[in-house]
Structure formats: C-alpha cells, structure tokens
Amino acid sequence: MSARIDDGDDMDQAVNDLIARSNRLGADPRNTNYAGGNTSAKGVATDPASGQDVELVWVKGSGGDLGTLTPAGLAALRLDRVRGLEAVYPGIEREDEMVAAFDYCLHGKGGAAPSIDTAMHALVEQPHVDHLHPDAGIAIATAADGEALTRQIFGDGVVWVPWRRPGFQLGLDIREIQHAHPEAIGCILGGHGITAWGATSDECEERSLRIIRTAEAYISEHGKPEPLGAPLEGFGPLEPQARRARAAELAAQLRGLASTDRPMVGRFTDDEVVLDFLSRSEHPRLAALGSSCPDHFLRTKVKPMVLDLPADAPIDEVRARLVALHEAYRADYTAYYERHATADSPAIRGADPAIVLVPGIGMFSFGKDAQTARVAGEFAINAINAMRGAEALSRYQPISDEEKFRIEYWALEEAKLQRMPKPRSHAGRVALVTGAASGIGKAIATRLAADGACVVIADLDLEKARAAAAELGSTDVAIGVRCDVTRAEEVQAAVDATVLAFGGVDLVVNNAGLSLSRSLLETTEADWDLQHDVMSKGSFLVSRAAARALIDQGMGGDIVYISSKNAVFAGPNNIAYSATKADQAHQVRLLAAELGQHGVRVNGINPDGVVRGSGIFAGGWGASRAEVYGVKEEELGKYYAGRTLLGLEVLPEHVANAVAVLTGPDLSHTTGLHVPVDSGVAAAFLR
C-alpha cells in the first residue's frame, strides 16, 4: 500500500512530511534515543528513466538520527525490488546477505546507506511506518510476562512479536502479524522496542505516540511504588558540590582504566535517574543483567562496571577497589566473548567498560569521542528507565547474553565499523588551553579541534571563552571556562571542569600571558609581579594541577609552553617579560626531566613578532614596541618580518601549527624541545 505521488512537488511534500515527523519524534527522548529507531514513507512517483510509475520507500538510513534527520539522511528504494527480494531470500541463517542486496534496489543516486531495518519498513503494508525505542515500550518488551502485559494494556490494538534479531525475517514476521491482526496499529518487539504504522504520516505519528503514552500511563498507574527496591543505607547521593568534587578526583583514574585497550573520551553525569538507581537495593542485580535493546548495548556494552562501596568511602579505598573491579570486569567480558565467539566472529574489540557507575556520585561513560561517550551515557539512562518500568509491572528479563553477542559481534556491525574514516591526528585527545579566547590561544584551540581534539578554552573572561568555544562547535567539541591562572583554586577548577566534561586531560597548553614594554628604571615592582604571576607562576600552577590528572590517568600526555624568542634573546626595555619567558623556558626542561617517567612530554614554542591577531600586541604592547624600534604601530609586523632570515610575518596560526606537530603522533619521542616560530631570528638561535 502506497500513497499516490503525482508530481515532483507532491514527492517533495511526502519527504518533507517524513522529515518533520521524524524530527518531532526524535526531539523527545521519551520516544526514542539518539540515532535510534527509524521512520519511513511510501509513495508512487514517475521514474525518469522510463516515464513509468514506480513505487518508492524512503527510509531513514543507517546511522542517522531522527531528531536531526534531513533528506540527505534518507535512503530511497524501489519498493517492488525490495519486496521482490523475498523470492531470493535464502533463509534466516543467511539473512545478512539481504543487506547488500538493498544496494540493487536504490532509486537514483545520493542519499544514505539502507539500514538493516529497511525490510521491516518495505514489507509492512502501510504507507507510513515508525520503529522506535521508547523507554516505556522497552519496559514492556523486557518484562518477563511482556506478551501478557501487551494484551492487558493494549487489547487487540497492539500485537506482541517475540524477540528476533533485526533483519529480513523480522520484516516478514511483522507483515504476517499485520495480516493476522488487521485491527492492529502496531506491535511490541520483544526485548527491543515498538513499531507502528498508518495510512498517513500524521496517523502513523499519532499511533506511535499513543502506544508510548499508553505504556507510560499504565506503568505509572499500576506499577509498584519502589520498583528498584528499598533505599540502601550509605548509597544515597552526596550533596552536589561534594559529589562533583569526588567525581573530579576519580575521573582521570577511571578514564585510564577504561582506556586500557584503546584511548577513550569520557563524560560524567550525576543525573537524578542514575543517583536514584544506585541508591536502591536491586541495583546490583539489575546492573548485572545489563541492557536489552540492541541500540543500547552496542554503545554501553552488555553491562556496566559498578562500584560496590558506599558514597562516602575513603578515596584510597575507592581507588584500590576500582582497580580490582576493572580487572574482574575485563576477565568477565573476555569470558563472555570466548563463550559465544565462533570461528567467524570478529576479534574482541576491547574488554574495558563503557559505563562505570559510582554510588552517591553518578555515572562515567566512555567512547571514541565526546559525542559517543555522551550518547553511551544517555543510553545507559534509557536502560535504567526500562529496568524500572519492567520491574514496576513484572520482572526485568533482557535478551540472553548469546543474543547480545550475536548483535554486538554481528558481521554487519563489524563492516560498519570498518567503514569508519581514519581518525584525525588528535582524535580522542582532550586539550586544555589557557588564554584561549583570543589571539594565539584561540588559534591553537581552533587547530586542535580541527584535528579531532576535545578542547577546553580557559580564559579570564568567561563570556569570551564560551563564545570562542561555541565557534568551534557543540559542547561535544569544546567548552569555555573561566580561569585566572594566578589563583590555584581557579586553576584546579579549570582542570576539574576538563575531566568532568571529557573524562580526563591529555594536552595542556600554557598560553596565558601579557606584557608591559618598559625599561629597567620604568619597571615597577607591581609590573614585575604581575607578569611573573601570570606567566611564571601561572604556568607552574597549571602544569602542577594538570600533572596530577595526567599521572592518575596513566596515559602519558603533553604539556606545551608558549614561551618567546625573548626567552633567549636580550632586547631593550623588556626586562620583566623576557625574564618570565626565560623562567617558562626552564620550566620546560625541568618538567621534561621530571614527568618523562610518566610518559608526559613537555615542550616549548618560541614565537616572535606575532602582531596581527595577538591579544598582547592589541593591549598596548604593540604601540610600545613600535616606539622602541622607531616605526609606526601598523608597520610593526612588517618590521619584525624584515629582520628575519625568511622575511615572513608570523601569525597565530603558525604557532598553532607548531603545537599540533609537537603534540601529534610524529614527534612521539620528543621532549624538552623548544621550537622557534620566528621566521628565523639568528640572534635567538638555540645553543
């Protein structure tokens, strides 16, 4: 059954209606999770190659997100060809072969790759179909007596479909159920989610929401008052400030543990759902059962790692226990893999947890980048909500570990992972850059983000820091924080914000600075103290706070000092600035010697003549230096370039390039180095 599309404008309207419906459904987390579920519409259009009518199905493509779906995220297929695949279907043991066959059913060029759920949308004989993963729907789908509950809650309007892995056979199953129950508006997919259909886009959306809201209302009205058990003494949430302080203490260690097999980015949340779950007596049993919905555990692993100590346990005891639990988790996951793997299974993808739950504190989630880590945490909350709903009405009973393994190590999932583009040079790394709301610091932050790093822009001006971060992208890419580098508590707060936002820290750039161009006799004690406080003391405070996290993390890392040509060159009327830059230069050597045993590289960059785009030069320094050299301020950059060997002006981007190279993979064995970025000032050659 398809809707008639008489011309191009009507076809565009059908796609627009599908996108609008998808965006509305995907915008509400009660309906489905990020990148979870799919929607479709069918219609009749004219095939430009033949001039004949052709039935099409537009379906959300593989990996897309309903809430942000655009027409480019749809796959358009010939409906007759997809349905014709039934004639060559080799049976459930070989149903994966049907995904490759979808490529031969595509209509036109462009669009997204068809997903594994394409068959469900094509075979269901209604013009519009939604497949969603609502928490309330999964609660019914994972209840031990889910089939009986479905009848009790929905009568004949919604039909129970026993668990089956997504694929061509599931599409056939739902079509048969639809034939047998013409009065049905949708179905509950055992262990998985819901599917609904309708004659119009509006009707399909209304039916999807009716199923979800009916399930929510039934759980609310008929569920047990404490489905997760009675409160556990000592496992309730700490006060907000205390729990975030404890989370910051643990974040770097946890990220290091979760990155044993490969580097991960982290995300912390103290969401009320998580805190309540961990405060209840049934949380150890339920956590051990793990997630059920495939979209959940593909990102969260089959179950989380859970600390089994009260919220106020001594920090040393917690640290030691986390190490022991991590070792046990890895052994358990490896056994799970070996128990279910076959000769054709992909290699184990790592045995570290993706979710770590800490009672009274919250949840740490991990992934290859910040978005993946955030989404993993969101899915873990979805799983908790589903557990609560199932326990309220019945008993939570997820699909078996064997079925979870078949999904997690599915050949199709492995092929999707293998198609991922090669990661950028700084992918998975977390950078903290001081003085980064403008000038050289902003250029460094921009370059590191472009190379794949998560960036924390620390600056004295919070609003400018946040604005600079927003220019780089969402909070999965960059955040802005206030930091006066002369104050130890603000420096520590900036490091804490970094590890809570992204799990840890890998790369620290000491860039914050200022300068006052004055002669010896004109330099006041206050001038001297200010410049030394910001650059000498500030760099020390930042490096010290970051080093604690780097050592706890155990993943190595980089500290970079933006020093100056003046660290080694003696020029006039510059005593305080040059002296503090020399201090920074020696800090590089001292810290390289001390932190090398922890795999932390410490290097410096000596720029010169960075006039255009420089915050320091814009703050009066440029006018002072121009006066010293007897040139106009607007000609200062040209003057500096003219005295160099290369005759080239140095820009903030050139300093950023040096940071990217120093902290990238190609100089992994370099520490204690100072790199001149000055176009060649012979008097400043390092000796």
Confidence of residue 9 (pLDDT cuts 50, 70, 90): low
Angle at 21 between CA 16 and CA 24, to 5 degrees: 125
Q: Is the pLDDT of residue 260 over 70?
A: yes
Per-residue pLDDT averaged across 48-58, rounded? 90
**Domain 240-419: assigned CATH number:** 3.40.225.10
Question: Domain boundaries in the chain?
Answer: 9-222, 240-419, 430-684
Query: Distance between CA 372 and CA 67 in Å, rounded?
Result: 16
Q: Is the pLDDT of residue 15 over 80?
A: yes
Given a contact cutoff of 8 angstroms between Cβ atoms, the answer to whether 683 and 606 are in contact is no
Given a contact cutoff of 8 angstroms between Cβ atoms, the answer to whether 355 and 373 are in contact is no
Confidence of residue 618 (pLDDT cuts 50, 70, 90): low
pLDDT digit string, tens, across residues 403-447:
999 989 987 776 777 777 889 999 999 999 999 999 999 999 999
Known catalytic residues? 577
Can you give the pLDDT at residue 636? 81
Domains 9-222 and 240-419 share a fold: yes
**Domain 430-684: assigned CATH number:** 3.40.50.720
Confidence of residue 294 (pLDDT cuts 50, 70, 90): confident
Query: Distance between CA 564 and CA 666 in Å, rounded?
Result: 24
Can you give the pLDDT at residue 13? 82
Given a contact cutoff of 8 angstroms between Cβ atoms, the answer to whether 33 and 295 are in contact is yes
pLDDT digit string, tens, across residues 390-409:
999 999 999 999 999 998 99
Can you give the pLDDT at residue 622? 67
Confidence of residue 619 (pLDDT cuts 50, 70, 90): low
Query: Distance between CA 611 and CA 242 in Å, rounded?
Result: 45
The dihedral formed by the CA atoms of 453, 459, 465 and 471, expressed in degrees to the nearest 10: -40
Given a contact cutoff of 8 angstroms between Cβ atoms, the answer to whether 494 and 246 are in contact is no
Mean of pLDDT over the chain: 93
Query: Distance between CA 281 and CA 227 in Å, rounded?
Result: 10
Confidence of residue 5 (pLDDT cuts 50, 70, 90): very low
Confidence of residue 461 (pLDDT cuts 50, 70, 90): very high
Query: Distance between CA 18 and CA 57 in Å, rounded?
Result: 11
C-alpha of 593 from chain center? 34
Q: Name the CATH superfamily for 9-222.
A: Class II aldolase/adducin N-terminal domain (3.40.225.10)
